[in-house]
């Protein structure tokens, strides 16, 4: 499956694996499929749910190498027209750029998106977490959908507060961005992306007229020593990246993490007995069932050989299965075992190389605070549905349950 077939001595492309045809079982639990593919080799021809064909890289070492390979471009201008694919994101941002453009954009954004700015958010993250839990615990039936009650509104509130989105606009923006990122309907996805882009354009215009003490206002003002600034197109793309990628991934980090704990009562008991393990527990949550199944697309700029399989150049689509990389037994012993005491450092849930997630500290902070407060205030927290009955988000980018029913006494 990993090598090109031959016919009359001439190489032909292998028959692609149709990911959509794998059905709901794959969406709910893709890990056995990835493990089976990994046992056959690190590179596989695939057909995406939308119909485009590409190459899937599995296994820790191969995926990690692919994530850092400069021959695999993030620039959509490098994509082959034969793919029939276009990006839904607006503007130029770090995840759609290669050096030197990427280097410049990351430098300007990192100048303002500092660890200090993230750390200063912690008291506010705690306040909004407890406010959300107050509302959840007031439910008369002692039951709630944790996605609606906590996992979704907390990151939405945090990223909107960080960037400076008016409170009245937050739910509409979140709904549009969620559809733009997750819908399997191309027309619906384009419409939602357009709505999101218009919202960002209006937000930028408002901030230019009336700047505040928020990240977006700081990015508008930001310049480096040479006086370089983000252009209007780059500001639009950066806001898209921060608001969509930064918000959606954290939603599913919290949901997947809580689901892992509730599905492993022995580990939940260990964490309750020793809350100081929370930081390490979050790393294991990221490794075991992280919020990103495969990262955003990469495109070949020249032929790339991986373990004897040559992926052609010319803008071929390449996906590194980071979900599988973090379940590779060659890197993590007993990878299908959820163990909050294990050393999970080295996982690639936030990527690897120059595109390593700039928002990783914020995601970790939100997960620690949210899950810690949830366990503290809900001593009887339990799943209110069988794990196999949960509906999961479609596609192979963001991974997480659409709803997470819980009961709390």
What string of pLDDT tens digits covers the 409 residues of the chain? 344 443 333 345 678 999 888 989 999 999 999 999 999 999 999 998 878 899 999 999 999 999 999 999 999 999 999 998 777 666 778 888 999 999 999 988 888 888 888 888 899 999 999 999 999 999 889 999 999 999 999 998 888 888 888 877 777 877 777 777 666 677 887 788 788 888 888 888 989 898 888 888 988 887 655 677 888 888 888 888 887 777 889 999 999 999 999 999 999 999 999 999 999 999 999 999 999 999 989 999 999 999 889 999 999 999 999 999 999 999 999 999 999 999 999 999 999 999 999 889 999 999 999 999 999 999 999 999 999 999 999 888 889 999 999 999 7
Query: CA-CA distance, 204 to 210, in Å (whole number)?
Result: 10
Q: Dihedral of CA 35/36/40/46: which sign? A: negative
Buried b (16+ CB within 10 A) or exposed e, 304-340: bebeebebeeebbbbbbbbbbbbbbeebbeebeebbb
CB 154: neighbour CB atoms within 10 A? 25
Query: How confident is the model at residue 188, as a pLDDT?
Result: 82
Q: According to DSSP H, which parts of 310-352 are helical?
A: 322-325
Q: Dihedral of CA 207/213/219/223: which sign? A: positive
Give which of 368, 376, 388, 397 is closest to 285, Cα–Cα: 368
Query: How confident is the model at residue 214, as a pLDDT?
Result: 86
CB 369: neighbour CB atoms within 10 A? 22
The CATH number, out of the four listed (1.10.3720.10, 1.10.10.60, 1.10.630.10, 1.20.1730.10), of the domain defined by the range 5-407? 1.10.630.10
Query: CA-CA distance, 326 to 122, in Å (whole number)?
Result: 28
Query: How confident is the model at residue 343, as a pLDDT?
Result: 94
Query: CA-CA distance, 406 to 325, in Å (whole number)?
Result: 30
CB 69: neighbour CB atoms within 10 A? 18
Extract the tokens encoding 71.
């021959």
Query: How confident is the model at residue 143, as a pLDDT?
Result: 96
Query: How confident is the model at residue 305, as a pLDDT?
Result: 95
Query: CA-CA distance, 207 to 374, in Å (whole number)?
Result: 35
Extract the tokens encoding 13.
């492309």
Q: Where are the domains of the chain?
A: 5-407
The phi and psi torsions of 63 (rounded to 5 degrees) equal -65, -45
Query: How confident is the model at residue 334, as a pLDDT?
Result: 98
Query: How confident is the model at residue 128, as a pLDDT?
Result: 95
Give which of 348, 309, 306, 357 is closest to 328, Cα–Cα: 348
Contact status, residue 241 vs residue 95, Cβ threshold 8 Å: yes
């Amino acid at each position: 499956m990993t090598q090109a077939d031959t016919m009359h001595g001439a190489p032909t492309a292998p028959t692609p694996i149709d990911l959509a045809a794998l059905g709901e079982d794959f969406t709910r639990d893709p890990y056995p499929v990835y493990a089976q593919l990994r046992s056959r080799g690190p590179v596989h021809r695939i057909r995406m749910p939308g119909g485009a064909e590409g190459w899937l890289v599995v296994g820790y070492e191969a995926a990690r190498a692919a994530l850092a390979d400069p021959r695999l471009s993030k620039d959509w201008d490098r994509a082959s027209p034969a793919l029939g694919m276009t990006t839904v994101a607006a503007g130029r941002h770090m995840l759609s750029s290669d050096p030197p453009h990427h280097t410049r954009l990351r430098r300007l954004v990192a100048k303002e998106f500092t660890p200090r700015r993230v750390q200063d958010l912690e008291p506010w993250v705690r306040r909004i977490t407890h406010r959300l839990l107050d509302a959840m615990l007031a439910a008369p039936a002692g039951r709630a959908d944790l996605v609606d009650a906590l996992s979704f509104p907390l990151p939405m509130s945090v990223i909107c507060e960080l960037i400076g989105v008016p409170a009245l606009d937050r739910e509409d923006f979140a709904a549009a961005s969620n559809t733009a990122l997750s819908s399997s309907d191309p027309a619906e996805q384009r419409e939602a992306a357009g709505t999101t882009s218009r919202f960002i354009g209006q937000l930028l215009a408002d901030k230019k007229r009336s700047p505040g003490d928020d990240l977006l206002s700081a990015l508008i003002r930001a310049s480096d020593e040479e006086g370089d600034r983000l252009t209007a197109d780059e500001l639009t793309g950066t806001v898209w990246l921060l608001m969509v990628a930064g918000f959606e991934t954290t939603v599913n980090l919290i949901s997947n993490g809580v689901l892992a704990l509730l599905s492993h009562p022995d580990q939940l008991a260990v964490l309750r007995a020793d809350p100081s393990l929370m930081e390490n527990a979050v790393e294991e949550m990221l490794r075991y069932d992280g919020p990103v199944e495969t990262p955003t697309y990469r495109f070949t700029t020249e032929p790339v050989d991986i373990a004897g399989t040559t992926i052609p150049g010319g803008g071929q689509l390449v996906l590194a299965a980071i979900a599988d990389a973090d379940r590779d037994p060659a890197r993590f012993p007993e990878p299908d075992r959820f163990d909050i005491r294990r050393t999970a450092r080295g996982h690639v849930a936030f990527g690897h190389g120059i595109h390593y997630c700039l928002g990783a500290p914020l995601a970790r902070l939100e997960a620690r605070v949210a899950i810690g407060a949830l366990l503290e205030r809900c001593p009887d927290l339990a799943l209110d549905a069988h794990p196999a009955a949960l509906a999961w988000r479609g596609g192979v980018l963001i991974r997480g349950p659409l709803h997470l029913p819980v009961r709390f006494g």
